[in-house]
Structure 1
């Protein structure tokens, strides 16, 4: 049996009409909202006329207008057929076609208003709206799976020698991983409360908290890389944002174990990242690793580190591989599945190098799409995303003396981020690194500014960057607090009866 035959059979016109009839009836205000929750795009409807009617309903819904048969007919009357076909192909990921007739309205090509009234009068099935929507979602996934596997099979059977089997496999796995994430899940407040209490009891009994780490205790206390959050890390050149991101990567793996952290670096190669991490292991600069300056003892330590990394299952996607946001999301889902749900942190270096789904988008629209998608995947997979970002040049202009020599760099601000509007809106936290001046010493102070934190307070953390021993951040010796007595650190689980909890004076 051919794949085309399988693809054609993976739909049900009756179920599609039954779903649309509820929306076209017009008496159920929340009907289309319920439909969209299960079937988010018109592509879930396979029959052409049903897809066009679904497009009309989606357009009216997006504009906040009432949906019924008359409103849909009016929409179909005003939209040209060619525009609708182009929109359908774009929504399905197909290339545009030439020679379309744009002059005639969609309603005219369908044969008039009676087509819409016929759908409205279609009898529903015994499954009801939720059951019919679930059927449509399952059929859509079936069609998408057949199409994906058919395309992969065609690529794999080419005989011109240009097909890379690894690329075919990665594309197929990424597509399936993305497909598995299609759809939404509704959770009642009571069920969510039960889950929260279960997690509370587990932690109270001594269970480990699955929260990613910065690799610096002071930062972990000031800004938690909690599951379901998007954190933006921004700085000017030479402030160490990539080094801090790598420190968070390894700190998370040290805390949570293999498979808990991955990195996407579109600026550096895998070998460059490894050189930084090897320098950190042997307490040497990156240049010592890249230029062959390690001592025999350091070489042994570096070799042992490489053997240890092999067991850590660190996923890396690095420079030289163009990456669109939709491919990145699919890759994250794939890695999450392979880790068995252990993945707790994904580092993305950096935002402005990612490609959007539409190359004609403005820079602002591109960043809006990227941050929105990353925020959604962090919530869907319950992991932390650390997104690195650039600062605008105007915001990092150095202050100079009369001779033109650099004196200080201005304090970074959220407004100075490229695409700051979307970054500030979607991010749960924003951390800015501030190097106040140029330093000749490889060890110099850096201020980490928590400029936004939805789960806590804004604050500054004074750090020290060690460029000659693995490009790592540490807490300055002068800033390390003296250890407190156990009695001072202990928190009473229950206040005494004669203690006034509200009198703080």
Structure 2
């Protein structure tokens, strides 16, 4: 027997795969006619008042059904529901007897065109209503021209109503029906992407970004909302509390004591926004937080830092300057004293033990970022504990024609969804609008949530918003050697807000906690009173004390 080469042995299998790919476009798309009948049977029965409400919460338009006649029947049910009429077989048949069949087909064709252009699922109920409601010229001239006659007359509607379908299973059935619809959408999009791969000169990374964007859009239409009973939620909550008791350090801490006192930790699934005007030092503060997490003396956590503005080598220079205490200018010019070289060598050696990954790229879409994070999570076996983005407004949207508001809204929402999906905190640096510079005289006012640049969705999606506000004169004089910066926790979804003071030394890119101000006379008395009260509450009563007085 003559041995075949590996390529010859695998040739039949490869040919088979190519044949299967060629036949994929000719297959009937996934559907279940019996499932569609079961859903329509409950609606047409007329005895289940909440059935239409449950079905419509999932299937918002007739194209959720695959069979043409089933789409027509559901279209009539939608119009009856909009008008507040009871839905049953008689009412649906009567409406379809007055609806011209060609007009119905035109309505369905318009919906299909919007579906093909990915616009149908984004329409609200008011927009969808205009697509299936009868217009002045949509009445059938005779019964033979009606939609009822086209689907087989009243007997066809009665047969649907008479199909066996328990009303108790309507929610499960409509969820399965919507799942078939999403599978059809997925197959259609993948086939289009495959066709584009054959025909376009676009690179693989560009096609991958397009595919990721399309899957993300599909995931938004997945009806996965579930109603949870309080008893089950209480048990799950107590389990979480017990896990926290057993392992107190569930999240990662910033290492800035006053901030950690308010945030408690960077929670898995949380989106944290660090915002400031240019030049205040938000990149340096973010690197300090990264150093506290990735370079922790006892528990080093994995961090992935995306820099869309600063080169990765410059980021390391900033880190070296802050950690070694060597001026950044000396690193840039190469004029270093021998002892500074020793400090640099010690810091560089320590950096190599950090679990920190850097990605510097100037042209990155939010979908590509999401793909990189998911891949890195798999590669590190879940050891990645923080993602930092510097900064949010420099990310690109998958839609080049999107406005600034739409782009930032999409980026903010995708970051939040990614954080919750991967159960990892995401810290996004953000610019602030020029309105934040307004104030009294030369002193700008404290920043507000409305100062976040680009979109109001940033403050809505964020679990916490931290502002950096420079409180000194900022005139570039001697005071610029040490800039006084106020750190303001303006929003905290899971705890208190507040502020603290830090000093920024721009020459060494270093942030340090500012010395606490001495309390005034009244404040000092109040603090001593509360301290004595707390000590008294924690102390053990003496034998001579009357515990019941």
Same fold judged by TM-score > 0.5?
Answer: yes
Matched with 1:238 is 279
Q: Does 1:91 align with 2:118?
A: yes
How far residue 448 of structure 1 moved from its aligned partner, in angstroms, is 1.1
* Alpha-carbon distance in 2 for matches of 1:44, 1:243: 51
Determine if contact 2:295/2:351 at 8 Å carries over to the other structure: no
Range 357-366 or range 82-91, more displaced? 357-366
Matched with 1:474 is 512
Matched with 1:385 is 426
Determine if contact 1:395/1:412 at 8 Å carries over to the other structure: yes
Matched with 1:11 is 30
* Alpha-carbon distance in 2 for matches of 1:215, 1:183: 40
Long gaps (5+) in structure 1: 95-103, 401-406
Matched with 1:280 is 322
How far residue 373 of structure 1 moved from its aligned partner, in angstroms, is 3.8
* Alpha-carbon distance in 2 for matches of 1:272, 1:41: 53
Determine if contact 1:3/1:150 at 8 Å carries over to the other structure: no
Range 182-191 or range 35-44, more displaced? 35-44
* Alpha-carbon distance in 1 for matches of 2:400, 2:292: 36
Cα–Cα, structure 1 residues 170 and 77, in superposed 2: closer, same or farther, change >3 Å? closer
Long gaps (5+) in structure 2: 1-18, 122-130, 139-144, 520-527
* Alpha-carbon distance in 1 for matches of 2:409, 2:489: 22
Matched with 2:10 is none
Q: 1:300 aligns with which of 334, 340, 345?
A: 345
* Alpha-carbon distance in 2 for matches of 1:417, 1:258: 32
Determine if contact 1:258/1:313 at 8 Å carries over to the other structure: no
Measured against aligned partners, the alpha-carbon deviations of 1:318-369 in whole angstroms (never above 9, x if no partner) come to 4322314x55445544544555455443333333334445555554444444
* Alpha-carbon distance in 2 for matches of 1:35, 1:339: 42
How far residue 203 of structure 1 moved from its aligned partner, in angstroms, is 3.0
Matched with 2:387 is 346
Cα–Cα, structure 1 residues 227 and 38, in superposed 2: closer, same or farther, change >3 Å? farther
Matched with 1:458 is 497
Cα–Cα, structure 1 residues 151 and 199, in superposed 2: closer, same or farther, change >3 Å? same
Alignment of 1:425-440 (within 5 A): 425-436=460-471, 437-438=473-474, 439-440=476-477
Determine if contact 2:470/2:484 at 8 Å carries over to the other structure: yes
- Give the match's secondary structure for 2:249: coil
How far residue 232 of structure 1 moved from its aligned partner, in angstroms, is 2.6
Cα–Cα, structure 1 residues 60 and 408, in superposed 2: closer, same or farther, change >3 Å? farther
How far residue 460 of structure 1 moved from its aligned partner, in angstroms, is 1.5
* Alpha-carbon distance in 2 for matches of 1:490, 1:331: 54
* Alpha-carbon distance in 2 for matches of 1:67, 1:290: 77
User: Number of aligned pairs?
Assistant: 474
How far residue 221 of structure 1 moved from its aligned partner, in angstroms, is 0.8
Matched with 2:263 is 223
- Give the match's secondary structure for 2:147: coil
Cα–Cα, structure 1 residues 459 and 172, in superposed 2: closer, same or farther, change >3 Å? same
Q: Does 1:408 align with 2:449?
A: no
* Alpha-carbon distance in 1 for matches of 2:320, 2:309: 19
Alignment of 1:249-260 (within 5 A): 249-254=290-295, 260=302
How far residue 461 of structure 1 moved from its aligned partner, in angstroms, is 0.9
Matched with 1:445 is 484
Determine if contact 1:391/1:418 at 8 Å carries over to the other structure: yes
* Alpha-carbon distance in 1 for matches of 2:287, 2:302: 13
Q: 2:305 aligns with which of 235, 244, 263?
A: 263
Q: 1:319 aligns with which of 361, 371, 389?
A: 361
* Alpha-carbon distance in 2 for matches of 1:132, 1:265: 47
* Alpha-carbon distance in 1 for matches of 2:451, 2:106: 42
How far residue 384 of structure 1 moved from its aligned partner, in angstroms, is 2.8
Alignment root-mean-square deviation, CA: 5.3
* Alpha-carbon distance in 2 for matches of 1:23, 1:420: 42
Determine if contact 1:39/1:183 at 8 Å carries over to the other structure: no
Q: 1:112 aligns with which of 147, 153, 161?
A: 147
* Alpha-carbon distance in 2 for matches of 1:82, 1:167: 32
How far residue 456 of structure 1 moved from its aligned partner, in angstroms, is 2.5
Alignment of 1:338-377 (within 5 A): 338-356=379-397, 358-377=399-418
Determine if contact 1:177/1:330 at 8 Å carries over to the other structure: no
Measured against aligned partners, the alpha-carbon deviations of 1:75-129 in whole angstroms (never above 9, x if no partner) come to x8698566423420232899xxxxxxxxx98988x98356599686484678944
Cα–Cα, structure 1 residues 365 and 425, in superposed 2: closer, same or farther, change >3 Å? same
Q: Does 1:2 align with 2:20?
A: yes
Measured against aligned partners, the alpha-carbon deviations of 1:15-36 in whole angstroms (never above 9, x if no partner) come to 3454466567676565566557
TM-score (ref. length: structure 2): 0.65
How far residue 473 of structure 1 moved from its aligned partner, in angstroms, is 2.5
- Give the match's secondary structure for 1:455: coil
TM-score (ref. length: structure 1): 0.70
Determine if contact 2:409/2:455 at 8 Å carries over to the other structure: no
Determine if contact 1:356/1:366 at 8 Å carries over to the other structure: yes
Alignment of 1:185-196 (within 5 A): 186=226, 187-196=228-237
* Alpha-carbon distance in 2 for matches of 1:59, 1:237: 54
